[in-house]
Amino acid sequence: MTRWIAASGAFVVSLDSTVNIAFPAMTVAFAVEPERVRWIIIAYVFSYAITSFVAGALADRVGHGRVFAAGLAGSALAFALAGLAPTFGWLLVARVVQGVAGGGVYGTSPGIVSLAVAPAARGRALGFLNAAIGLGLSLGPVVAGLLVGVFGWRSIFLLRLPFALIALAWALLALPATPRPPAARLVRPRDVVRAAVLIPGALAFIANAGVFAIWLLAPFYLVASRGLAASTAGLLFTLTPLGTTLAAPLAGRVVDRLGARAPVAAGLALEALGLALLSRAGPTSSLGMVALALFAAGFGLGLFQVPNMAQVMAAFTSVQQGAAGGFAFLARTLGTVAGVAVLAQLFGTRRPVIGLGPAAAEAFLATAIAVVVGVVLALATTRD
């Protein structure tokens, strides 16, 4: 039951993919430029990037269940604040609250599932968790595509409030407060500043910076450039997280049997291929080709993330699994923040000059090249 509870909390947090499809509606509602939606992402992701590591390390001392439950309670509060936001600034504050709370969930869930199994089964356990995260990311755009057109963008936050409360009640009733003896002290800098930790962290940074080109720019390409309805765009957009969902359990089994090197490099290569295909997409490109590119990038990310996270978890001791899980999400989310900030700037600079579609294509190409660099780094440094 422990891994199901952890997965349920991560699922609720991962439903934040509903937000991306609502970006065009938010820009209209608050009368802001498309480039400013990056702050909706950055306010949230940067907050949980930092909090996830702090929460994970703290959980090693006070109990993973307590920090996990606090994260769910804070998430419920943030959903209410965001759903009622009267101004763009209010929404950004709510997103910071949401990010701090989400970090409590993301930072503790890997430690919760890894401590519940033997080290030989760690890959499958983390695959289960990442599949739950991918499922939340997959369902979000579909649900948002239906909700935004009927109830407006506020519904994407208010919808998640009851789910967060249900997950919180389940955690309080059934999740052990301290699954293992607490660590004697908080994680030290030298526990982190090691090649066994920093190299997988750098690869996670690159992979997530690359894939968030899709999360940031694909909604504008599908809705604004292609003229698709929000519901249709949501169905296409969900192919990226769906690919991640389907790849995660497979990757977990592969890493337990064969090691990390092959799935890490193959996942990054497939992600780069998907991004490169998206850089070739134009207003009249085949939707089949666009769908294939979106799915390939997501499947590649899922194939990469599980062995990458397993490497990070294995680099820490059993009493530092909270810190390990927090660092794994810290590396992911710092990549996301950097990717969003840089790509939004590139997109915003080029869009007035060459137009929305070509500017998005240039951003996709830039991320594809960055992920190819990640493939080379993985082949040169990753060990089974």
Please write the tens of the pLDDT for every residue from 321-375.
888 888 888 888 888 778 877 877 787 788 788 877 788 888 888 889 999 999 9
- Give the pLDDT of residue 382: 66
- Residue pLDDT, tens place only, 254-282: 888 888 788 999 999 999 999 999 888 87
CATH number of the domain enclosing 311: 1.20.1250.20
Closest CA to 358 of 251, 278, 253: 278
Q: Is residue 256 part of a domain?
A: yes
> 230: which 2 tokens?
């929000």
How many CA atoms, within 13 angstroms, populate the side-chain half-sphere of residue 280?
A: 13
Count of beta carbons in the 10 Å neighbourhood of residue 317: 12
d(CA 299, CA 317): 30
d(CA 313, CA 126): 10
Q: Is residue 362 part of a domain?
A: yes
Q: Is residue 91 part of a domain?
A: yes
Q: Is residue 181 part of a domain?
A: no
* Summary mean pLDDT of the chain: 85
- Give the pLDDT of residue 333: 81
d(CA 324, CA 200): 12
Q: Mean pLDDT lowest for which of 287-296, 297-306, 320-329?
A: 320-329
Q: Is residue 340 part of a domain?
A: yes
- Residue pLDDT, tens place only, 162-202: 999 999 999 998 876 554 555 556 677 788 888 888 999 99
What is the tally of structural domains in the chain?
1
Q: pLDDT band for position 82 (50/70/90)? A: very high
Cα-based angle 356, 357, 361 (whole degrees, multiple of 5): 115
Q: Is residue 366 part of a domain?
A: yes
Q: Is residue 182 part of a domain?
A: no
SS (H, E, C) the chain: CHHHHHHHHHHHHHHHHHHHHCHHHHHHHHCCCHHHHHHHHHHHHHHHHHHHHHHHHHHHHHCHHHHHHHHHHHHHHHHHHHHCCCCHHHHHHHHHHHHHHHHHHHHHHHHHHHHCCCHHHHHHHHHHHHHHHHHHHHHHHHHHHHHHHHHCCCHHHHCHHHHHHHHHHHHHHHCCCCCCCCCCCCCCHHHHCCHHHHHHHHHHHHHHHHHHHHHHHHHHHHHHHCCCCHHHHHHHHCHHHHHHHHHHHHHHHHHHHHCCHHHHHHHHHHHHHHHHHHHCCCCCCCHHHHHHHHHHHHHHHHHHHHHHHHHHHHCCCHHHHHHHHHHHHHHHHHHHHHHHHHHHHHHHHHHHHHCHHHHHHHHHHHHHHHHHHHHHHHHHHCCC
**pTM confidence score:** 0.76
Q: pLDDT band for position 21 (50/70/90)? A: confident
d(CA 49, CA 97): 13
Q: Is residue 101 part of a domain?
A: yes
Q: Which domain holds residue 222?
A: 2-176+191-381
Residue with the bigger pLDDT between 107 and 1: it is: 107
